[in-house]
Structure 1
């Protein structure tokens, strides 16, 4: 297809949907009408406007080189794959791009732009909270800036991003600790709670994805109770900002075969099914322990190259 008369300059990592919308607006064409034109070239496309299904056609309309929307390697999430001998890398073949996020409005020159880049919910350049289209000033809130750098640095290299699930669960666990405390009427809003708890959620995620925690959570033979004990201790230490407890936790949880050794406050050896003496928070976590383990271990999943996936044997129907 020919490029539209007026093209727009794409932002780094901008999504197909975002550029398509801006391109239509710049050319004064309704997005639905432009989609109708595209459907004339591709009749099998759905009626609903879904430009992400035809990135190559959008590249042509925008006058961009083929493959522009494939993304830059530096923006890809790190994964474990055979190409790097199962170490975490941003492999061009196996590593996915992160979920779309709204760009800082100041970086986007006042426009609404959606990108898939190595970023989280905070613009460290302009000190703005830009998650879900917000534009809140973070001047003086250094903890949010430190958390953003941790997310796009340490956590990114572990395969953790804003939309991979770990931060959402960490926020839920922090809220769970104060479930019985009075709140303001609007404090249950998910986006507002994430903004409030962002530094702690990032810290908790970083703690529970460290190698020692990964080994502990991966040992399914010890059962759910030691997992609940670990997460309860981690949430409490992060929420109370206790550096002493954080340091102690790293040395206090070990597991081997069906036995867990917990030396936090007191030394306890637990065989499968035995209770470590959970508190109220731990009892709540116990009910979601499998989801907690699965979510905080997601970054450790290995990826097979696409060619191997295509030729993988299919399981037989029972």
Structure 2
């Protein structure tokens, strides 16, 4: 197809749909009008406007190479363990997944609504704005959110954890339960609102529960649900206290070897299998969620099978 009269400059990692919508707006068209023209030039496309089905045509309309959306910046991929990197966490072009599309900060995109797949979270540290799901909101305590953003795109990204992989969402739910219990806050929050309200704490809790020592504790199936509930309860309380020392001490407090559990003092007598354990009220609230906690926070350490080759799979933004 011919290049449209007015083109736009693509952002790194921009999705096909995002570029398509900006082309439509720049040329004073409607999404349906342009899609009808595309369908007339290429057979087999769905009736519904689906630019992801014709990425090469969208690229041509913007005067870009036809294979523009097939290019792959591996640095945007989440880390994973696979055979191509000797089972170490790495960004593999074949096995590592791209994060789900997310909206850019409106200040970074000059006010435009841009959707990208890149190594980023929900907060723009440069402009101190919350940009998740198209929002453009100021944050009252930007330092904590900026720290969480660095942790997410650094430590957690290196463990294969992003906003859409489940760990942050579950951490928000746990912290919300804690707030309801401690603050007697019975207000109902949506998942998006929980993410905005508890982002720094949720990222820190996710980092704690995916650290090697916590992973060893969660992976030990011989100690049952109660010790895990107690450990999670102690970690949430430490995160809420904003004390790094208190959080690091939780690692030392909960040690397990086989069926033997050692709490507190390293030289204390082990709590052997079958003996009761006091888990506190918060631990009781998360007790029934322990199977899910184990599944979600151990997920990132699973090895991946090689994905189909690029020739066999659809373009990266479909």
> Do the two structures share a fold, i.e. TM-score over 0.5?
yes
Structure 1 residue ranges without an equivalent (≥5)? 309-318
Q: Which residue of structure 2 lines up, in the alignment, with residue 242 of structure 1?
A: 243
Cα pair 2:24 2:30 within 8 Å, conserved: yes
1:116 to 1:87, Cα distance in 2 relative to 1, 3 A: same
Q: Distance in 1 between matches of 2:87 and 2:99?
A: 20
Q: Distance in 1 between matches of 2:41 and 2:296?
A: 42
Cα pair 1:259 1:269 within 8 Å, conserved: yes
Q: Which residue of structure 2 lines up, in the alignment, with residue 57 of structure 1?
A: 57
* Equivalence map 1:88-99=2 (5 Å): 88-99=89-100
**Between 231-240 and 175-184, the greater mean CA deviation after superposition:** 175-184
- Which runs of 4 or more aligned residues in structure 1 lie more than 4 Å from their structure 2 counterparts after TM superposition? 264-268
Q: Distance in 1 between matches of 2:23 and 2:189?
A: 37
Q: What is the Cα-based RMSD across aligned positions, in Å?
A: 2.3
Structure 2 residue ranges without an equivalent (≥5)? 310-318
Q: Which residue of structure 2 lines up, in the alignment, with residue 179 of structure 1?
A: 180
Cα pair 1:268 1:276 within 8 Å, conserved: no
- CA-CA distance at 1:37 after TM superposition: 2.6
Q: Which residue of structure 2 lines up, in the alignment, with residue 46 of structure 1?
A: 46
Q: Which residue of structure 2 lines up, in the alignment, with residue 86 of structure 1?
A: 87
- CA-CA distance at 1:276 after TM superposition: 2.2
Q: Distance in 2 between matches of 1:30 and 1:68?
A: 23
SS of residue in 2 equivalent to 1:178: helix
Cα pair 2:94 2:308 within 8 Å, conserved: no
Matched, 1:69 2:69: yes
1:87-135 Cα offsets, whole Å, 9 max, x none, are 1111122111111111111100011111111110111111111112221
* Equivalence map 1:191-202=2 (5 Å): 191-202=192-203
Residue in structure 2 matching 1:269, options 246, 271, 295: 271
1:258-293 Cα offsets, whole Å, 9 max, x none, are 44333379755242x654211111112111111111
Matched, 1:163 2:164: yes
Cα pair 1:76 1:117 within 8 Å, conserved: yes
SS of residue in 1 equivalent to 2:81: strand
Give the paired residue count: 306
SS of residue in 1 equivalent to 2:149: helix
**Between 93-102 and 243-252, the greater mean CA deviation after superposition:** 243-252
Higher RCO (Cα < 8 Å, 6 or more apart) = 2
**Between 213-222 and 162-171, the greater mean CA deviation after superposition:** 213-222
Matched, 1:8 2:8: yes
Q: Which residue of structure 1 lines up, in the alignment, with residue 312 of structure 2?
A: none
Q: Distance in 2 between matches of 1:41 and 1:296?
A: 48
Cα pair 2:57 2:66 within 8 Å, conserved: no
Q: Distance in 2 between matches of 1:203 and 1:274?
A: 31
Q: Distance in 1 between matches of 2:39 and 2:269?
A: 67
Q: Distance in 2 between matches of 1:100 and 1:27?
A: 24
Cα pair 1:127 1:139 within 8 Å, conserved: no
**Between 43-52 and 73-82, the greater mean CA deviation after superposition:** 43-52
SS of residue in 2 equivalent to 1:254: strand
1:2 to 1:261, Cα distance in 2 relative to 1, 3 A: farther
1:140 to 1:231, Cα distance in 2 relative to 1, 3 A: closer
TM value normalised by structure 2: 0.88
